[in-house]
Amino acid sequence: MKNRILTGITTSGTPHLGNYFGAIKPSLELAKKSSDSFFFLADYHSIIKVNNPQEVTSSIENIALAWLSSGLDTKNSYFYKQSDIREILELSWVLHCVTAKGLMNRAHAYKALKENNSDDKGVNMGLFSYPILMSADILMFNSTHVPVGPDQLQHLEMTRDIALRFNHIFGDTFEIPEAVINNDDPIPGIDGRKMSKSYNNVIPLLCDEKTLKKSIMKIVTNSLEPGVPKDHTNCNVFSLYINFASDQEIEEFKDDYANGISWGDAKNKLFDKANETLLPIREKYFDLREQKDLVNDHLSDGAKKVRPLAREFIEVIRSKIGIS
Ligand code: ADP
Ligand code: TRP
Give residue 115's pLDDT band: very low, low, confident or very high (50, 70, 90).
Answer: confident
Q: How far is CA 71 from CA 26, 298, 324, in A?
A: 12, 14, 41
How would you write 71-100 as a 3-class SS string? CCCHHHCEEEEHHHCCHHHHHHHHHHCCCC
Could you tell me the distance, in angstroms and rounded to a whole number, from the CA of residue 39 to the centre of ligand 1? 14
Closest ligand to the CA of 188:
1
Residue nearest to atom 8 of ligand 2 (CA): 8
In this model, does residue 1 exceed pLDDT 70? no
pLDDT of residue 300: 98
Whole-structure pTM value: 0.95
Closest ligand to the CA of 19:
1
Could you tell me the distance, in angstroms and rounded to a whole number, from the CA of residue 9 to the centre of ligand 2? 6
Give residue 34's pLDDT band: very low, low, confident or very high (50, 70, 90).
Answer: confident
Could you tell me the distance, in angstroms and rounded to a whole number, from the CA of residue 36 to the centre of ligand 1? 22
Could you tell me the distance, in angstroms and rounded to a whole number, from the CA of residue 7 to the centre of ligand 2? 6
How confident is the model over 208-222, as a mean pLDDT? 96
How confident is the model over 148-165, as a mean pLDDT? 96
Q: Is the CB of 147 under 6 A from ligand 1?
A: no
Name the amino acid, one letter, at 213: K
- Other CB atoms within 10 Å distance of the CB of residue 122: 9
Q: Quote the distance between the C-alpha of residue 269 and its chain's center.
A: 27
Half-sphere exposure of 208 (CA within 13 A, CB side): 1
Q: Is the CB of 188 under 6 A from ligand 1?
A: no
- Tell which wins on pLDDT, 98 or 292: 98
What is the average pLDDT score of the chain? 95
Q: Which atom of ligand 2 is nearest to the CA of 147?
A: 13
